[in-house]
A and B are shown apart, each in its own frame.
Chain A
Amino acid sequence: MSTSQSASKHHVVETHGPGVTARAGLWLFLLSEILLFGGMFVLYAMYRYKFPADFHAGSQELSRFDGTLNTIVLLTSSLTVVVALFSLHEKRNLRRSAIFLAATIALGLTFLVVKSFEWSTKFEHGLYPGAKFLATQPHGFILFFGLYFTMTGLHALHVMVGMGVLSGVLNFALRGKITPERINIMENGALYWHLVDVIWIFLFPLFYLIS
């Protein structure tokens, strides 16, 4: 009882053993992800500096409502995944943990559905790399949509991978392979999902909110 009380005050973080090694490995992987997207952000920054008007025009084509909606969806999915981890790790409630994991996966799917509607609208308007209409537009406008599809596309790919990882975590948890004592896999799956959210936190204002 006393351990669970102290656990609710401070998140129990292992300081030694395989759990730490697994977490350290995942953080190193997350760093490589940050630098992967970081390189693209550098490219974005330079082209936006060079073509401010075209980037503004490109941003006007995007739906601010859809972008905001997807931001809320991803932020909420970050909450549900951390609640899923907390429920099993510290409250030892497998049922609640499984429900919140499933909710996280469902929110990931919601994000992708909204994204697919956005993309199909762009396709209808001839705004995709290689489109005849886009080719007639100013250089910076073409670059904006090239970066938009590359960066949000790579991000969407990460959402899909995250959903796959969390499905595996859910499966393991239900089969008793993830327990409060052996939480690494769920912890690392949640960390990956949060990073996908952090990347979107930057993508959203850079593409949708150019004033």
Chain B
Amino acid sequence: MTYPRYILVWVGLVVLTAITVTTASLNFGRVGILVVLAIAAIKSTLVLLYFMNLLFEKRLFLKILVPIAIGVLTIFIGLTYTDVLFR
């Protein structure tokens, strides 16, 4: 990495924040939550890969830790939803 690249990532994060605030005030209705969550996912991926150096991580164990955690959380939320939906 270099200083300009770090600043570029930061600019990307700020632009995505501007987009997410704008889309929220445009009222997309039910799809709105999916849009803001997708943008949040992109932003956190940028932080994880570039700021937290996961892109340059050579140890496989550390590289797959976060995807595993996200997978566990998805199962968690998915199963809870099925419980609430079919109650």
> What's the least CB distance linking B37 to chain A, in Å?
7
Q: Are B65 and A13 in contact (CB under 8 A)?
A: no
Asked if A171 is an interface residue, CB under 8 A from chain B, the answer is: no
**Candidates A20, A42, A68; contact of B59 at CB < 8 Å:** A20
Q: Is the CB of B3 within 8 A of A83?
A: yes
Nearest CB of chain B from residue A142's CB, rounded to whole Å: 19
Chain B: interface size category: 35 or more
CB–CB B69/A31 < 8 A: yes
Q: Is the interface of B mostly helix, strand, loop or mixed?
A: helix
User: What is the bound-complex CA distance between A78 and B11, given in angstroms?
Assistant: 12
In the complex, what distance in Å separates the CA atom of A20 from the CA atom of B61?
A: 11
Q: Is the CB of A34 within 8 A of B21?
A: no
Q: Is A42's CB under 8 angstroms from B76's CB?
A: yes
Q: How large is the interface on A (under 10, 10 to 19, 20 to 34, 35 or more residues)?
A: 35 or more
Nearest residue in A to B43 (C-beta to C-beta)?
A: A201
Question: Are A24 and B59 in touch, CB under 8 angstroms?
Answer: yes
Interface of A, secondary structure class, is helix
Interface string of A177-211 (1 = CB under 8 A from B): 00000000000000100110110011011100111
* Other-chain residue from B1, B7, B10, B51 in contact with A194 (beta carbon distance below 8 A): B51
Contacts of A205 in B (CB 8 A): 20, 24, 36-37, 39-40
Q: List 21 A-B contacts (CB under 8 A).
A: A13-B56, A15-B58, A38-B73, A41-B77, A42-B76, A45-B80, A45-B81, A46-B84, A49-B84, A64-B25, A75-B14, A82-B50, A86-B3, A194-B48, A194-B52, A195-B52, A201-B44, A205-B39, A210-B24, A211-B24, A211-B32
Interface residues of B (CB under 8 A from A): 1-3, 6-7, 9-10, 13-14, 17, 20-21, 24-29, 32-33, 36-37, 39-40, 43-44, 47-48, 50-53, 56-59, 61-62, 65-66, 69, 72-73, 76-77, 80-81, 84
> Across chains A and B, which 8 residue pairs bring their CB atoms closest together, nearest first?
A209-B24, A205-B36, A79-B10, A11-B56, A38-B73, A198-B44, A82-B51, A211-B27
